[in-house]
Structure 1
Amino acid sequence: MSSDESTVLGHETIDALLRISQQINSITEIDELLENIMDIAVETLSAERGFLVLKGDDNLLNVRVARNITKDQAQDMTGISTSIVQQVIQNSESLLTLDAQADPRFQEAQSVIFQKILSAACVPFHMKGKTLGAIYLDSRLDRQRFNQESLNFLSAFANNAA
């Protein structure tokens, strides 16, 4: 990534963080807020797909918002990488993979293999020290779509949104 590209991404990420702060302060309906959070994240990082998952009272994962994934795939979780999301929620740590197909962490992950995920970034969604869910973005088109700067932004974004 050139310094010009990094500067542009820097301005875009600052703008996105400001927009999410404005959304949080002006939107009272949680579903509308979650939709806007996902739109801003996907747009800012030029993700192919994305979703926001929250843990239910039963600790099962529920897809609350999805972008570029069919509603059926999101509901039955066949269109998402449960391997990556579960790892992020279980460890309460962000995860970045530049090439999931070659990443030894996902060698046995059926969801990653089946969906042909190349690049992915996923961060936990925390509130008051408790992991509530995760924000996940991926690309099946580009390796290295995301980088450490993308993951840092997504983490700051999730912390701000929570």
Structure 2
Amino acid sequence: MGAMAAKGTPAVNAAKAAGLSFRLLEYDYDPSADAIGLHAAAALGLDPAVVYKTLIVQLEPKALACAVIPVAAKLDLKAIAAAAGAKKADMADVALAERTTGYTVGGISPLGQRKALPTFIDASAEALSEMVVNGGRRGLQIALAPADLARATKATVRPIAVG
């Protein structure tokens, strides 16, 4: 298997299939890092403001959604619940998030999930020419235009992050 084949994660394949312009960024994933996204930004020499993490949330009643927020921020659970038209939201169970997306935690991408979830991107992304999200495995990030990510994931862009 060549180096390029190894990078063909479902996220990368989804970006290619959608005709997106993107760059792949690789770094040495550190499983002991407290904040995976901040570690990725530092390892890649990127401003954390352009690196986004993908969180899977459990909505009440019974539904999941995908939130894409800056790595240094926290998810505003009330804001994502309101954006999704749900009563409330909590972080999804890790096993459920992994089973639903087909990715392992630390490698969950908003692109190419096994089951396409309603996706919400924090409005801070609108100010960026390029944002960086997980590429579908630990240590792989994908850089692309926020508008392209929103289009490819049919995302709603709303202020859903705090801090």
TM-score normalised over the length of structure 1? 0.33
Larger strand fraction of residues: 2
TM-score normalised over the length of structure 2? 0.32
Larger helix fraction of residues: 1
